[in-house]
Amino acid sequence: MKLHLARNTKLLIAEDQVLAKSHMHYALEQLGFKNMDYVDRPSHALSALQEHNYDAVICSYNLRSEQGGYFLLEQLNDSHSLPLTSAFIFTSADTSADVVHAIIELQPDEFIAKPFSVNELDRRLSRVLARKKALKNIYAFMDRQDYEKALAEVEFFLLQPEHAEHFPLAMKIKGDLFIITERYQEAVAFFESIINVQDFSWAKMGIAKSLLALNEFDDAEREIIQLAMRPDSALEAYDLLAKLQIKQSAFDDALECTSLACSISPQNITRHQLAINLARITHDYESQFNSAKKVVRYAKHSIHDKPDIYLTAARAGVDFAMTSEPEHVNNIVKQTKEYLRQLKKAHPKAVLNDELTVIDARLHYLKDDTAKAQMLLSDFHTDHAQHHSTEALLDRAKALHEVGMKKESVTILDAISSRQDKGGDELDLMTTYLKQEKAEKEAISLSPKVLNNTAVAQYKRGNLEQSYTTFSQAFRVMPKNPSIALNYLQAIVRARKANAPMLPDTLSAIKKCRETLESAALSEEQYSRYENVKTILNNE
């Protein structure tokens, strides 16, 4: 470590373990650092950063309060409170895959595994501080969002041979600036010129992002799939592939990719929230509930810990219970009520009477107390819609439809739709979901809870055409339910034999039913029935 660099550097150290703090202090003093502040909680670090300018923050990922170091860097990134000219360095004794992926996603400037030697700290810290000093002017323009001047500064930087060791990072920044300024054709050409010299993953990722922005989907997909095969870029590739699939309205595929990414790095709340939205569109109620539960689990004591995450979990639980087999409903309802209890404990002052009343009404409906549910939902007028969130209104629309108040439900959905940005884009999942909900609520009068039972009763009475239509509606809103898929498939076979009128998308429906059944864990009775149906279909 160059002595003048150490003495001119102001450090903030976030560490709450006495021995680790003592070792860090000793090592930094050995390297010549004199200007050091110490904190032991993320909130104290945030306060210190508001009051002082630091050249670098060295933070323990394993802080034992407030979600630890992850919370600190997440909040700094979210609020843009740490300038690019300052460095952020994580230290951690835990080097498990989950932790490493979580750290990589937050993109600190360096990660140092504990325990470390003075020489190791010297090497890593010297490299980071030298890099920040060399690129200071570029970062300063980027902090001010003056990207054209930042580009000009990068070009100037790349003409100075004394900075050669930092050229790869400077070139990456240049490519990123092309993307930020939406100069995608230039970005593709630039990244390709880099790859012709050296096969950097970041350059291939830049090409994929640019091609995706240009809507060149086939070429983008080819690049992304190659990146998904590389350990250092797989996580980002899954995210990018999900974005491509959303643009193409392949929501099931997008959910699969997002779920894979969630399993690799489970602390990313934003990705779990994307999974919730995709699961809603694909009617995957179990995945929706599981993702909502993970948001609550990983968001506790973080910037994401707000009343809405508990409401989302409770609503997802009701949705799942409404579409599940009777033997599973009680357990799902029990979990749902637990999230309502956690909400009241975590946010006792939150005013959520209307939202909780709607959830209570839906829970009463699940217990077959429709009259009580209707009574709880009666005290509302669409003129009040402007005072409620989109999610609160959506839940009310579902509840009204479930208790047979279809007209009122659709009126609320119309009120929500009028709020949405009419321009929209292909990644606006809320607009997609609203259109889907409105179309389904207008076309289908019965609730998910009633649809299957009604269809079965019609089927047993020999009302083939009615049961076939009702099963098709049930499968439309519950396509992941194997019982409904099997019943619908049997209704199709029987209706065909009786030469009953068939819906135009029957072949597509057969394929989707079989996909659901092939991926489900069937009981012996279900398996036997499915084998019989398959034999008939194959013979036809």
Question: What residue type is 504 in one-letter code?
Answer: P
* Helix or strand run (H / E) with residue 241: helix 234-247
Q: Is the domain of 391 the same as that of 243?
A: yes
Q: Is the domain of 207 the same as that of 243?
A: no
Q: Is the domain of 111 the same as that of 236?
A: no
Domain edge (last residue) among 140, 171, 202: 140
What would the pLDDT profile of 123-166 be if each residue is shown by its tens digit?
A: 999 999 999 999 999 999 999 999 999 999 999 999 999 999 99
Averaged pLDDT score across all residues of the chain: 92
DSSP 299-367: HTTSTT-SHHHHHHHHHHHHHHHHTS-HHHHHHHHHHHHHHHHHHHHH-TT---HHHHHHHHHHHHHHT
CA dihedral over 460, 462, 466, 469, signed as positive or negative? positive
Q: Is the domain of 216 the same as that of 289?
A: no
DSSP 390-424: HHHHHHHHHHHHHTT-HHHHHHHHHHHHTTS-SS-
Q: Is the domain of 131 the same as that of 183?
A: no
Q: Is the domain of 220 the same as that of 325?
A: no
What is the Cα–Cα distance from 498 to 389, expressed in whole angstroms?
49
Number of domains in the chain: 4
Among 302, 276, 306, 299, which Cα is nearest to 289's? 276
Q: Quick one: what percent of the chain has pLDDT higher than 70?
A: 96
What is the Cα–Cα distance from 31 to 116, expressed in whole angstroms?
14
For residue 211, give its domain range.
145-225
- Taking the CA atoms of the chain, what radius of gyration do you get in angstroms? 28
Q: Is the domain of 296 the same as that of 416?
A: yes
Predicted confidence band at 423 (pLDDT cuts at 50, 70, 90)? very low
Q: How many CB atoms lie within 10 A of CB 386?
A: 9
Q: Is the domain of 313 the same as that of 382?
A: yes
Q: Is the domain of 310 the same as that of 281?
A: yes
Q: Is the domain of 471 the same as that of 535?
A: yes
Q: Is the domain of 59 the same as that of 132?
A: yes
Q: What is the CATH number of the domain that holds 395?
A: 1.25.40.10
Q: What is the pTM of this model?
A: 0.91
Domain edge (last residue) among 195, 225, 255: 225
* Helix or strand run (H / E) with residue 75: helix 68-79
Domain edge (last residue) among 390, 424, 443: 443
- Greatest extent of the chain over all pairs of C-alpha atoms, in Å: 90
Burial 335-373 (b: 16+ CB within 10 A, else e): bbebbbebbeebbeebebebbebbbbbbbbbbeeeeebb
Number of H helices, E strands in the chain: 28, 5
Mean pLDDT, rounded, for 417-423: 66
Among 253, 326, 318, which Cα is nearest to 288's? 318
Q: Is the domain of 453 the same as that of 516?
A: yes
What would the pLDDT profile of 323-360 be if each residue is shown by its tens digit?
A: 998 889 999 999 999 999 999 999 999 999 999 999 99
